[in-house]
Amino acid sequence: MLREFRVDLHVHTGLSPCASEEMSPPGIVRQATARGVDILAVTDHNSAANALAVMTAGRRTGLTVVPGMELQTREDVHLLCLFESFDAALEWQEEIYRRLPARENREDVFGPQWLYDDEGRVVGKLARLLSTAAAISLEEAVEGVGSRSGVAIPAHIDRPGYGLLGQLGFVPPGLGVKACEVSRQADLQAVRARSPGLQTMELVCFSDAHQLSDIGDSRTTLWLAAPTLGEIEKSLEGSAGRRVAGR
Ligand SMILES: [Zn+2]
Ligand SMILES: [Zn+2]
């Protein structure tokens, strides 16, 4: 039986240097549950290192947590990369780490990159620099995520900084994504008019939360049979009765 699921597939933890330290696994899970979110994705910049801790914290409450990352491609386009399992996310993380410059994070410039356990205790800091582009093109990234049975969604495409339209000006033909994220205030008709590739594209909204109060602020309702990434993908395709029900 299909039912409504409220999904927020763009949430940062304190690992993202620009996010608040309060973005710990239990903090995120508590806030998401309180805001009525059913499925949440962990999408830190270029890393999935805190995803397992949030998944474990989520399991205690019934919140479904999808592991992922917000990749910064060579073109400085932000791309949400979502995976069915933590192992697949980890494999993707290794691929991306190989393509990031081997430099240390400059905490004084970018901020700290906190690592937590599932109880919210700080267990360390990630030393490598995450706030930069990986040497991978947008096309190659979408293909790589797909080959790992993941789902790729260009993030905040209408925002001038790091959004697909701001960086490239259009959706490359044949890109192979099923949906794009737009900001909550976006005029959907105006966004669609900006590129032929957007005319029939599913447009979704998520919070891009960097602090607890942002979580669930902006989300999308999907009709699914179960809270899985496979079901989410079907809803973005509009197949087998699954669909995007509202923003
Ligand atoms: Zn972003
Ligand atoms: Zn983000």
- At 217, is the pLDDT very low, low, confident or very high (cuts 50, 70, 90)? confident
| Mean pLDDT along residues 56-70 | 97
Q: Which pLDDT score is estimated for 33?
A: 97
Distance from residue 32's CA to the centre of ligand 1 (Å):
20
1 Cα–ligand 2 center, Å: 32
Q: pLDDT tens across 115-169, in order? A: 999 999 999 999 999 999 999 999 999 999 999 999 999 999 999 999 999 999 9
Distance in Å, CA 159 to ligand 2 centroid: 11
Q: Per-residue confidence at 216, pLDDT binned at 50, 70, 90?
A: confident
Distance 165 CA to ligand 1 centre (A): 13
What string of DSSP letters covers 155-175? -STTSTTT-HHHHHSSPPTT-
Checking DSSP bridges between strand 243-246 and strand 220-224, what pairing results, if any? antiparallel
pLDDT confidence of 247, banded at 50, 70, 90? confident
pLDDT (mean) for 215-219: 90
Q: How close is the Cα of 162 to the center of ligand 1, in Å?
A: 6
d(CA 78, ligand 1 centre) in Å: 5
Instruction: Report which residue type is found at 14.
Output: G
CA of 147 relative to ligand 1 center, distance in Å: 23
Enter the pTM of the model.
Answer: 0.97
Q: What is the DSSP letter of 236?
A: H
Domains of the chain: 3-246 (3.20.20.140)
Give the ligand with the smallest distance to the CA of 16: 2
Where would I find the beta strands (DSSP E) of 89-216? Answer: 114-116, 122-125, 151-154, 179-181, 202-204
pLDDT by residue (tens digit) across 172-206? 999 999 999 999 999 999 999 999 999 999 999 99
